[in-house]
């Protein structure tokens, strides 16, 4: 599918403050202004006459060249570009057909002087819907374009925009992901070597750094429950069972104990670094199973790798 996308990218603002964005998105269009350029010149894409008109109006001011280049990009084979805009907290993209349609009402608050028709409708997902193009999850070089004040520009992050829409992974990010996975695998081996006391402390550190505060260590007082924790933000109380190893039968036993105490506990966390076989909680129940890889991933995210290493 990557071959269907143009290799050139242009940013467009659908009216001041995106005032024509709703019509553009809903109707599969790009809306633009320029009341100073008569409709016949726009329809004919007569760039020589349009340049003369703009020069006559703006003279040698820098804005004249910018204005002309923007209009030329919209009128002169706009199908050669992939078009992007930023609205509703997302980056949206489309492709268009050549040729414009002129607004018979010249301009309204809902529609521009003219519009291009999309060949590929506006989308805020990458090809195939694999990635939701939320602005806060995009590289800074891509999102800086959202602050551009004029109508059309070639974004500095054009290469990154195409890569993201095509679902292509950045080579450096790929190397980092491989290194991170190797580190998590190594940490998982270290976690599996922790003694019971250190493993319990590690789980307690993970819980405390993710918003859970220990209320009590209950092991002896309430059989089968090692730790009771509370999350003030979510107003939940959970019990946590920490074991070096466990089978499905052990999990089933503690699941039954958890269900018998549902009036107090909102969820159960069953942490075991070396399970015997696959551990599967009942479907639909608020029971989280943390095995070695899960714990290692949390250790790395929370910066606890050095702590684990010093316990061996």
pLDDT tens per residue, range 140-171 = 999 998 888 788 999 999 999 999 999 998 88
Using the predicted structure, report yes or no on whether residue 16 has a pLDDT greater than 80: yes
Q: What beta strand segments (E) does 132-224 contain?
A: 152-153, 213-217
Using the predicted structure, report yes or no on whether residue 1 has a pLDDT greater than 60: no
pLDDT at position 222 is 46
- In this prediction, residue 50 has a pLDDT band, given cuts at 50, 70 and 90, of confident
Q: Indicate the SS3 state at residue 228.
A: strand
pLDDT tens per residue, range 249-269 = 999 999 999 999 999 999 999
As a whole number of angstroms, the distance between CA 14 and CA 309 comes to 55
* Nearest C-alpha neighbor of 25 from the set 85, 70, 71: 85
Q: Where are the domains of the chain?
A: 2-165, 172-309
Q: Which pairing describes strands 81-87 and 90-102: parallel, antiparallel, or unpaired?
A: antiparallel
As a whole number of angstroms, the distance between CA 286 and CA 243 comes to 19
Average pLDDT over residues 38-62: 78
Domain 2-165 -> CATH class? alpha beta
Q: Which of 10-14, 64-68, 253-257, 270-274 has the lowest mean pLDDT?
A: 64-68
> In CATH, what number does 172-309 get?
3.40.1350.10
Tell me the CB-side half-sphere exposure of residue 113, using CA atoms within 13 A: 16
pLDDT tens per residue, range 261-299 = 999 999 999 999 999 999 999 999 999 999 999 999 999
As a whole number of angstroms, the distance between CA 39 and CA 16 comes to 20
Which CA distances in Å does 243 have to 23, 126, 274, 292? 58, 42, 8, 11
Residue 254 is inside which H or E element, if any? helix 248-260
Q: What are phi and psi of 225, to 5 degrees?
A: -115, 120
Residue 305 is inside which H or E element, if any? helix 305-309
């Amino acid at each position: 599918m990557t071959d269907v996308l143009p290799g050139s990218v242009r940013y467009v603002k659908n009216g001041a403050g995106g005032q024509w964005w709703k019509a553009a998105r809903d109707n599969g269009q790009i809306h633009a202004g320029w009341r100073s350029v008569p409709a016949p010149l726009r329809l004919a894409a007569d760039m020589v006459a349009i340049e003369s008109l703009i020069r006559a109006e703006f003279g040698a001011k820098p804005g004249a060249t910018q204005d002309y280049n923007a209009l030329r990009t919209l009128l002169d084979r706009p199908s050669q570009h992939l078009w992007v805009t930023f609205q509703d907290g997302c980056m949206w993209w489309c492709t268009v057909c050549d040729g414009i349609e002129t607004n018979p009402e010249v301009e309204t608050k809902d529609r521009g002087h003219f519009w291009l028709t999309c060949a590929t409708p506006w989308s805020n997902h990458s090809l195939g819907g694999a990635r939701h193009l939320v602005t806060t999850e995009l590289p800074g070089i891509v999102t800086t374009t959202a602050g551009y004040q004029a109508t059309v520009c070639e974004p500095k992050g054009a290469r990154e925009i195409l890569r993201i829409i095509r679902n292509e992974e950045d080579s450096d990010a790929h190397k980092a992901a491989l290194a991170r996975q190797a580190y998590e695998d190594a940490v998982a081996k270290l976690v599996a070597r922790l003694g019971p006391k250190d493993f319990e402390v590690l789980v307690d550190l993970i819980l405390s750094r993710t918003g859970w505060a220990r209320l009590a260590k209950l092991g002896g007082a309430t059989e089968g429950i090692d730790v009771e924790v509370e999350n003030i933000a979510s107003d939940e109380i959970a019990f946590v069972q920490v074991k070096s190893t466990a089978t499905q039968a052990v999990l089933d036993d503690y699941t039954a104990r958890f269900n018998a105490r549902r009036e107090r506990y909102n969820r159960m966390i069953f942490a075991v670094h070396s399970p015997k076989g696959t551990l599967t909680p009942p479907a639909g129940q608020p029971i989280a199973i943390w095995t070695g890889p899960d714990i290692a991933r949390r250790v790395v995210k929370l910066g606890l790798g050095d702590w684990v290493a010093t316990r061996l």
